[in-house]
Amino acid sequence: MNVKQEQYNQVIPPEGHEGPGFFATRFDKVIGLARKNSIWPLPFATSCCGIEFMATMGAHYDLARFGSERLSFSPRQADLLMVMGTIAKKMAPVVQQVYVQMAEPRWVLAVGACASSGGIFDTYSVLQGIDRVVPVDVYVPGCPPRPEQIIEGFMKIQELAGKESLRRRYSPEYKELLKSYGI
């Protein structure tokens, strides 16, 4: 059965018990599967990495294949904050506020050198990496990264979303992490 599904590029079901007319598996696996294949990204694009992201969303690379057909321009409905480009220090509180407005579970992808570390802009006006204001799950290197790299980063986020325990967001470590950012 799995062979046939792979042939049609379908999502492979998690381990479980199968019989005529029913399939039983673990709740967290089903939820993880649903979450990882329906991530709504919020694109926070400020410069050239944003242009690469436009290519990633376009027909040729087609991020919609990964369940992200629908971008969310409101943080309220977004699952993934994709920060693509240089973030000026004056913009830092805005990035943090967008993150705060997102509902749990939420992930953050830092795309490109600037979002990851400030990049070549080691200067008084530029934030030296968005991990100074929000916790980051995956960093994508490159200046700018190619769409393939952005997709790879996105798939790493999917991996996290699929495997994450349902209770991780209530853990003291997670609360401590947010507290260290003043969120």
The residues of the shown chain that bind other proteins, judged by CB under 8 A, are 89-90, 117-118, 122-126, 128
Give the nearest distance from C-beta 157 to other proteins in angstroms. Answer: 24
- Tell me how far, at minimum, the Cβ of 180 lies from other proteins, in Å: 16
Residue-wise burial string across 37-63, b where 16 or more C-beta atoms lie within 10 A, e elsewhere: eebbbbbbbbbebbebbeebbeeebeb
The least distance separating other proteins from the CB of residue 92, rounded to whole angstroms, comes to 8
Q: At 3, which helix (H) or strand (E)?
A: helix 2-7
Compute the least distance from the CB of residue 47 to other proteins, in Å: 17
CB of 122 to other proteins, least distance (A): 5
Q: What is the residue-wise DSSP string for 64-80?
A: GGGT--S--SSGGG-SE
Nearer of residues 72 and 86 to other proteins, judged by Cβ: 86
- CA within 13 Å, CB half, 25: 13
Pick 11 or 94: Cβ nearer other proteins: 94
Cβ closest to other proteins, residue 15 vs residue 122: 122
DSSP state of 58: S
* Alpha-carbon gap, residue 95 to 134, rounded angstroms: 8
Q: Which is nearer to other proteins, 102 or 110 (CB)?
A: 110
Nearer CB in complex with other proteins: 38/128: 128
Q: Of 141, 142, 136, give the one whose Cα is nearest residue 157.
A: 136
